[in-house]
Amino acid sequence: MIRDYRPEDFEAVKAIHERQGFEYVLPDLNSPLFLVKKVREVNGRVVSAMFLRLTAETFLLTAGSLIENGRAVEELQPAVLYEAWRKGLNDVVCVVPVQIAEGFDTVLRRMGWHRDRDWPMYSRELQDAERSESSK
């Protein structure tokens, strides 16, 4: 059975997270940035969970050399991050095209960015989610 997460599920979810052994801290599930919180229950036991936290993907559109692009980040970033923080976000992500990743890494690190994990990143559009759910 799939149902909404409840605070009393926390210990079960925490135990599942610990058993997975991945190197990331279980986030604060009470944060209002978690817009969707679901668990899978089998025989009355929580065996899986999925949470969606609101975050922002950063897009930088700029023309010029690597140095000019770096300058664009330095000049735009303070205003953009401040506004994101004022609107309630805790973090932002940046997906860098492989062709510029090596050179741009230095600029991003200097500006306070860090590479979270070496995990591949995936995305999914939601436009067909309603059709999928309504066909069940």
So what's the pLDDT on residue 41? 98
6 domain-assigned: yes
Q: How confident is the model at residue 121 (pLDDT cuts 50, 70, 90)?
A: confident
Residues 60 and 99 in one domain: yes
Task: Indicate the average pLDDT of the chain.
Answer: 89
- Considering only CA atoms, give the Rg of the chain: 19
Question: What is residue 133's predicted lDDT score, i.e. its pLDDT?
Answer: 66
Q: Note the pTM of the prediction, 2 decimals.
A: 0.76
Question: Is 100 within a domain?
Answer: yes
Q: Report yes or no: 35 and 126 within 8 Å, Cβ to Cβ.
A: no
**The pLDDT of residue 20:** 94
Residue 119 lies in a domain: no
Does 128 fall in a domain? no
* DSSP label at residue 33: T
Q: What six digits make up the tokens of 3?
A: 């149902």
Residue type, 103: G
User: Do 91 and 65 share a structural domain?
Assistant: yes
Between CA 74 and CA 58 the distance in angstroms is 14
Q: Do 68 and 101 lie in a common domain?
A: yes
- Residue 43, phi then psi, degrees to nearest 5: 50, 40
Mean pLDDT value of segment 42-64: 93
Sheet strands (E) in the chain: 2-4, 34-42, 45-53, 56-58, 92-94
In this prediction, residues 15-23 reach a mean pLDDT of 93
User: What is residue 130's predicted lDDT score, i.e. its pLDDT?
Assistant: 67
**Tokens representing residue 50 in the block:** 């999925």
Within a domain: 63: yes
Residue 117: inside a domain: no
Neighbours of 58 (CB within 10 A): 18
